[in-house]
Amino acid sequence: MLVLSGSCLTNPFIEVLAAWLLVTGILGAVAMGLDKGKAHRHERRISERTLFLISITGGFWGVLLGGGLAHHKTSKISFQIVVLATSFVWLLGIAQILTRAGCFS
């Protein structure tokens, strides 16, 4: 079982990364909800390019969560592939960063 060490939780870089992922994730979830609302009202939508950009910059979990909760873009396979690939790359990167920082004991 992997356990985060206490020193990792006080690492300033890890704290900034966690805050960044929190903010971009919330932004991703809100963007997906707003886009779903705009779709229902037949208004100008948030572009997929913007949603991809949010995902790529760290909001991948919010885009996935927001899409799942709002049932938005869940059947668009090309969209899901890009967001899941982004998620995979981010998760690998986070695991690498935490490992190098000595966060696992």
Q: Angle formed by the axes of helices 77-100 and 12-40, to 10°?
A: 170
In total, how many domains does the chain have? 1
Identify whether 78 is part of a domain.
yes
The answer to whether residue 105 scores a pLDDT higher than 80 is no
Identify whether 76 is part of a domain.
yes
User: pLDDT, tens digit, for every residue of 37-68?
Assistant: 999 999 999 999 999 999 999 999 999 999 99
pLDDT given for residue 2 in this prediction: 62
Cα within 13 Å of Cα(44), Cβ side: 0
Q: Which domain does 56 fall in, by range?
A: 8-100
Q: How far is CA 66 from the centre of its chain?
A: 10
Identify whether 2 is part of a domain.
no
Identify whether 82 is part of a domain.
yes
Identify whether 105 is part of a domain.
no
Q: What is the average pLDDT value for the chain, to the nearest integer? A: 92
Identify whether 64 is part of a domain.
yes
Between 10 and 82, where is the model more confident? 82
What's the rounded mean pLDDT across residues 8-20?
Answer: 90
Identify whether 61 is part of a domain.
yes
The answer to whether residue 11 scores a pLDDT higher than 70 is yes
